[in-house]
Each structure stands twice: as C-alpha cells, then as structure tokens.
Amino acid sequence: MTKKNNLYIDIFAGCGGLSVGLLKAGWTGFFAIEKNQDAFSTLEHNLIKKNPHFLWPEWLEIKEYDINELIKEHENELRKLQGKITLVAGGPPCQGFSMAGKRDKNDQRNLLVKSYIKFIKLVLPEAIIFENVHGFMANFKGENAIKKYSSYVESELKGLGYKTAYKIIDMSEYCVPQKRKRFILVAMKNHAPEKVFSLLENNRDYFCDFYGITRKIRVYDAISDLEKRFGVCDSQDTRGFKAGMYGIAQSGYEKLMRQGIDNYDEQVDSHRFVNHRKETVTLHENLLKHAPVGKRITPDHNTVKGLKRRGVTVLDRASQAPTITSIPDELVHYCEPRILTVREHARLQSFPDWFEFKGKYTSGGKRRKKEVPRYTQVGNAVPPLFAEQIGIALMEVLKNESN
C-alpha cells in the first residue's frame, strides 16, 4: 500500500457521523472500527454499500470489531500503516465521563482510552482528532483512578512526538441546531494544531454562505418540514406504526439536509411516530400549554400532573435544542403532543436525510447494555456538519504548511 493523501481511519466510529462529515470535507476513509453490530450496520449501509467511501484493506473483514481484538489479531498489519495514514479520528465511548450520567471511575469503557493510545502508537498518523464529552476534562475522585483523562491523553500523545491543542466547543456555533458542548483535541506531528482551531472559527461565515445557512440554526428551521400535519402513511419498516411525509422545505438548512433525496412524495427514512398512549398524549398537551419552552423540568417542579420522567424539555422553536442524547423521552415537540422521531433527532444532529438508519428504534432494560438502537446511534454521534468543518480546517493546515 502506497501513501494516499487525506487517508484516515475512523475509530470508535458509531454509526458514522464523523465519517459523513469527513467525506464531505474531501477525506478518504481507509477503514472504520465499531464494536456494536447495530451501529456498524448503519455505517456499512451508508458509507460502504450505498456510498463506497471506505477503501477497506484486504486483510480486514468488513464487519464490526472490538478495538482490542483488532489490535491483537492485526498488530503487524497496523504497524505497516505507519507513514501511510494521514489521520485517525474519533473518541472512545463517553458514558463513563459524562457529567449527566453516573460518572463512574470504574466504568470499564473508560479503559478504552488506553486502547485508543495503543492504536495510535501502532499506526502513528500525521494528525489526530479526538472527540468526547466536556466531562472528559474533569477530575475523577478516589484512589486508583486516572484523575483527568484529558491530561492523560495529552501526555501520552506528547510522549509520541505530537503537538496538541484542545478546546471545549459548542456545536451550536457551527451550524448544528443544538447546544452540544464537546471536548475536541487536535494532535499533529509536524504542524501546529492551534491553527486548526483558528481556521475552524474563521471559516464559519464562509461555510454558512456556501451552503446558504445561518450559523445559529433554530429548531423550527431544522425540523418544521417534518411535522406530522404534512401527512402520514404506514411505516415501511415497522408494522402497526405510522411514518411521516415531507412538507415544503422552508429554510436553507432543511434544503441542505434534503440534498440527495430524489422523491419527496415517499415517507422519510426513520421518521416513524411513536404510538403514544392516550394519557401520554394528554401529558404532552399539558406540557405544551404549561411548561416553559427550552427549559428542562422534573416531577419536582410540579408543572404538570403525571410527569414520571427524570426530566423533559419542550423544544423552543426559536432557539437551539438541548444536547441530543440516547433517551427520546427527554424532548417534546414544540407544537405537536409527541416526542421526536429518529429522523428529527438526526436533523438536530445535522445528519443528511439520505443517511438511513438500521436496526431497532429503541431498546430497554438489560438490552440497553448490548444493543444500540437508532435513537442511541444518533445521540452518540459526532454531528456531521461540525465534522465537515474541522475536516476542512485540518486539511487546509496540512496543505498550506506543507507548501
């Protein structure tokens, strides 16, 4: 294998949100590593079969992989990639670091940070993009634990000869219709990673103008063409459910998300409405009447009767959504008495409509530890529009400084 410019590996790839953005930015995928079968089936459908974005090496079967098993089975092949891979992008699962979760220092998923470093040591790419929740920068309490994982990663990368820079970035500043703060680290061997962040910020207005969108995308501008009032039909992938149809695209963002869709008369992928019980519809109607928009309420607020969820937010149509998570019951539509569909979540994550999700819609109980249904795939992803912008900035630094 000879070196190919702009060749990258997507690590802890999920359903492929990061790769969708890097594809648009002009990068070429070599292969992707994702452990979960559901998430990988979505990535494979969209970025290997439907759009042949990944070259994929002959020595690696196209399937889901645990990173530790891949390293064990293909250590020699990975070492041979040194000097041939420009970028490794992605970050380990964030649940153990999230400030909104249990934040358990003993969460086994935290150990995947060490697996990430081991992979970097084998491949030694020219550049690295590392993404995680902003809690990745917070200290863990107690003995026998890495206190601050961000410092650990930075120290390990510097020990390998990388220059590093990081920021906490609010994705809502980069055309993503949600207030989603993430820890982003860029590491480079022979270039200045600080310049990537400078370009990322300086290029925002040009990026918006190019696509005919605004920097701050409102909820209404993101999903108003998906309202249930535009019509329903029988769901193609789930018996007994109804799916939504397209309305007229009102905003530049909705038009951008619909690029690549040929027939607007067909049902929208993964736009399946939940079959709410009568009392749930009544609860949502009361929330629409009485709950403050854009603010999370809990049963302790006594805003409405019958609220048993840990917390819920009625979307503010004139602002950005809160962080999209894997739990669909946390958000209520801004004008219809229902939770959002997978497609509406995907819009708020900036997934284009041509990107089709596979697997179950939801999962519960003990199955949640093994299964990654569609809502979770979306909630765990890197927003493609942000990935595109940082991919462009990184490529520009590599090109300009090389010249």
Of 253, 178, 227, the closest CA to residue 340 belongs to 227
DSSP string, 37-67: HHHHHHHHIIIIIIS--B---TTS-SS---H
* Cα–Cα dist 90/33, whole Å: 10
| Set 94, 208, 233, 335: catalytic member | 94
Q: How many CB atoms lie within 10 A of CB 324?
A: 28
Q: Which residue from 257, 46, 21 is spatially nearest to 129, judged by alpha carbons?
A: 21
Tokens, residue 4: 């190919």
Q: Which of 156, 92, 99, 175 is nearest to 130 (CA)?
A: 92
Collapsed DSSP state (helix, strand, coil) of residue 363: coil
Backbone angles phi, psi at 205, to 5 degrees: -65, -40
Q: Is 4 in contact with 26 (CB distance < 8 Å)?
A: no
CA proximity to 364, closest of 356, 373, 351:
373
Q: Which pair of structure tokens corresponds to residue 34?
A: 């994702």
Among residues 19, 11, 150, 168, which one has the least CA distance to residue 92?
11
Paired with 232 in beta bridges are: 244
DSSP letter (8 states) at residue 244: E
- Contact (CB, 8 A) for 216 and 252: no
Judge whether 332 and 315 are in contact, CB under 8 Å: yes
94 given a catalytic annotation: yes
Residue showing tokens 């400084």: 401
Rounded to whole angstroms, how far apart are CA atoms 317 and 315?
Answer: 6
Q: Which residues does the annotation mark as catalytic?
A: 94
